[in-house]
């Protein structure tokens, strides 16, 4: 009987647990956390935080992005296993998310073995546009 009471208490306490998401943390804390990441990881973190259409998450994501100098984005700064998993779609999301033509001047894709080039069209078009201006 004691054991059944113990199980019941455990089940009850699990149902009343407080669930907190990373997006519930203050912007300043998330910006601080991102400062310890390599730039490509910061970019992926900001995109992940952004979520679908939550305006607070979008503001948090913008705060993370604006806290970093984006002149050079070098994927050799991340683990090789992560770089090898990135696709053109991932690179395209990162490039679209930033104001590429005014911030990013160097893009290094070392270790990104799955890149075929289709995700880079946005980057290339902005480079060509800037040269015309």
Report the SS3 class of residue 30: helix
What single DSSP character describes residue 78?
Answer: S
d(CA 31, CA 21): 16
| β-sheet bridge partners, residue 74 | 108
pLDDT of residue 133: 47
pLDDT of residue 129: 58
pLDDT of residue 56: 76
Write the pLDDT tens digit of every residue in 82-124. Answer: 889 998 888 888 887 776 666 778 888 889 998 888 777 766 7
**Alpha-carbon torsion, ordered 48, 49, 53, 59, to 10 deg:** -140
Inform me whether the pLDDT recorded for 25 exceeds 80: yes
pTM assigned to the model: 0.69
For 25-34, which contacts have Cβ atoms below 8 Å and span 24 or more sequence positions?
A: 27/59, 27/60, 27/63, 30/60, 30/63, 30/64, 31/63, 31/64, 31/67, 34/64, 34/67, 34/68
Write the pLDDT tens digit of every residue in 40-74. Answer: 888 888 888 886 666 778 888 888 888 888 888 89
Residue range 18-44: average pLDDT?
87
- Name the residue ranges covered by the structural domains of the chain: 20-68, 70-133
Sign of CA dihedral 127, 90, 26, 78: negative
């Amino acid at each position: 009987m004691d054991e059944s009471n113990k199980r019941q208490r455990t089940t009850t306490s699990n149902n009343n647990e407080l669930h907190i998401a990373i997006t519930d943390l203050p912007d300043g804390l998330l910006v601080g956390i991102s400062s310890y990441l390599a730039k490509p990881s910061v970019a992926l973190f900001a995109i992940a935080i952004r979520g679908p259409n939550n305006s607070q998450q979008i503001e948090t994501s913008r705060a993370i992005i604006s806290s970093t100098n984006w002149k050079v984005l070098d994927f050799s700064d991340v683990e090789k296993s992560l770089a090898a998993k990135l696709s053109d779609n991932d690179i395209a999301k990162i490039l679209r998310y930033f104001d590429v033509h005014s911030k990013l001047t160097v893009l290094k894709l070392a270790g990104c073995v799955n890149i075929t080039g289709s995700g880079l069209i946005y980057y290339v078009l902005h480079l060509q546009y800037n040269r015309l201006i």
